[in-house]
Amino acid sequence: MLFQLNRKKRLANLEIKDHVIRFTEMKNSMPPKPEKYGEIVIPEGVLKNGEIQDQLTFQLLMEQAVQEWGIKRKAIQFLVPDQLIVVRKLQVPAYLPYEEIKGYLYIELGNTIHLPFEDPILDFTVLRLKEEYHEILLFAAPENVMNEYKNIFESCSLHPLTADISSLSLFRLYQLMDNEDEEENVMILKLDQFGANIGIYQNGLPLFIQNEILSHYEESDHLQTNQFNLVEPLDELIESIGRVIHFYKYNMMGGTADLHKIILSGDHSLIELARKKLESQYTYEVVEMDYGIEKGNEDEKIPMKYYACIGLGLKEV
């Protein structure tokens, strides 16, 4: 999925989350190796559920990031905060040419397509072509929030070109590094400190993407998570994952398909415990997305929390 904002140039890659801004700049190599990477912590209250609450502070943080990372006047692409994205599986008439599908989606807003926000930016990917209809996956984000990010980036001497989704970026990296069987059905589980993003991919295509907020987020100062019990929210998340798997197997696939593997990534401090809990709960293979990616020509190993940003960078490699 791609929200196109301008023409593409050589890019720096940003991930925006409520508690952090992450950055990579990729070396043109295979396997992928970032030339630069870094992060800046966002104080509590500046962003909430992906929306900017304190524009001045966020702009100051972005100006600091631009200076520290040396990306002034750089073209950038960024990952839209997971909480802002709505993903829906839809059917569109088979007679529609591909280039007219997006216009049809906008026309159907408020009629057959209902979203939790007004004035969205839309994109889609085609899942199946059938005689009577085409199945697509719709991606939507609130245009006003996207424009707020775009305006702040531009005020910091950056040139935002495209926006993407973290789940798709991680799947892109997985396909490059570890996808031995293109027909396998996998779940990409991005587990972060305050939320989780669940994506199901079948035959190389996204079928389902959903964001979950971990229950402790509403109660906690997100810079002091060690003061809060993080285990109970993990247990609740694993129950939610079970419901997602059931929905995929029986509602979406009619009992004809199942997962083969759960791929785990993210920045949660208890990600290893999460892996063990998933293994004890389900019969699927559960693997952490740890590919030993190194920085440039150095032996420095890049932490897994940067993998979504690295996957985003693969769009230009």
pLDDT digit string (tens) for 119-157?
999 999 999 888 899 999 999 999 999 999 999 999 999
Residue 262 forms part of a structural domain: yes
| 261 and 196 both lie in a single domain | yes
Same domain, 110 and 132: yes
pLDDT mean over 93-111? 95
Last residue of a domain, one of 132, 166, 200: 166
To the question of pTM greater than 0.85 for the whole model, the response is yes
The H helix count followed by the E strand count for the chain is: 7, 16
- Shared domain for 160 and 304, answered yes or no, is no
Q: Is the peptide bond before 31 cis (omega within 30 degrees of 0)?
A: yes
Q: Which residue has the tokens 């140039």?
A: 9
Query: What is the tens place of the pLDDT at every residue in 32-44?
Result: 889 999 999 999 9
161 and 12 co-located in one domain: yes
CA-closest candidate to residue 18, choices 64, 68, 71, 61: 61
Position with higher pLDDT, 205 vs 10 = 205
In a domain, 173, yes or no: no
Asked whether residue 21 falls in the same domain as residue 155, the answer is: yes
Domain count, the chain: 3
Specify whether 15 is located in the same domain as 149.
yes
The range of the structural domain enclosing residue 115 comes to 85-141
**Same domain for 90 and 70:** no
Partners of 17 in beta bridges? 20
Q: Which of 233, 232, 187 is nearest to 212 (CA)?
A: 233
Q: Judge if 115 and 186 occupy the same domain.
A: no
**What DSSP letter does each residue of 47-100 carry, written as one string?**
EETTEES-HHHHHHHHHHHHHHHT-TT-EEEEEPPGGG-EEEEEEEETTS-HHH
Report pLDDT for 183: 76
pLDDT, position 227: 40
Residue 175 lies in a domain: no
The DSSP bridge partners found for residue 210 are 198
| Residue 160, both tokens | 């935002």
One domain, residues 23 and 121: no
**Residues 224 and 287 placed together within one structural domain of the fold:** yes
Instruction: Clarify whether residues 257 and 269 are in a common domain.
Output: yes
